[in-house]
Structure 1
Amino acid sequence: MDIGTIHSIWTVLLFVCFIGIVLWAYSKRQKPRFEEAANLIFADEEKDSATREKDRSKEA
């Protein structure tokens, strides 16, 4: 086995891993999980605004 064959096998393995990751990332089963993760930053804003409204009602 020469170095060219080893590089070819390595390239094919990496390509198969890449295709596997792409299929996993774009599968319909993962979509709800990724959408929830994408909206996590907005959950903090909702909590902050709810806390601010609660503080304002206490002051009044």
Structure 2
Amino acid sequence: MSQGTFSGLLTVALFIAFIVGVFWAYSSKRKAEFDAAAQLPLEDGPPSHGTTQRTREKAP
């Protein structure tokens, strides 16, 4: 297999993977999950990932 054939096949494979990813992202089955994730920054309350705010200690 020549370099050109390999490059062409790789391009086609990556294009197909891209198309599958687009269909997955815009699938109506995923809409509810993506809508919930989009609202996370707007929710009140502490962060859910476990980080805490650091407080500065005053120097004596």
What TM-score does the superposition give when structure 1 sets the normalisation length? 0.72
Q: How many residues matched?
A: 46
Matching of residue 4 in structure 1 with residue 39 in structure 2 = no
What SS does structure 2 have at the residue aligned with 1:11?
helix
Amino acid at match of 1:21: G
Amino acid at match of 1:32: A
Q: Distance in 2 between matches of 1:41 and 1:19?
A: 29
Percent identical across equivalent pairs? 43
Unaligned runs of 5+ in 1: 49-60
Q: 1:41: which partner in 2?
A: 41
**Which structure would you say has the larger Rg?**
1
Query: What's the offset of the Cα at 1:42?
Result: 1.1
Higher helix share: 1
- Moved >6 Å (runs of 4+): none
The C-alpha deviation readout for 1:12-42, integer Å capped at 9, x for no partner, is 0000000000000000000000000000111
Unaligned runs of 5+ in 2: 47-60
Q: 2:23: which partner in 1?
A: 23
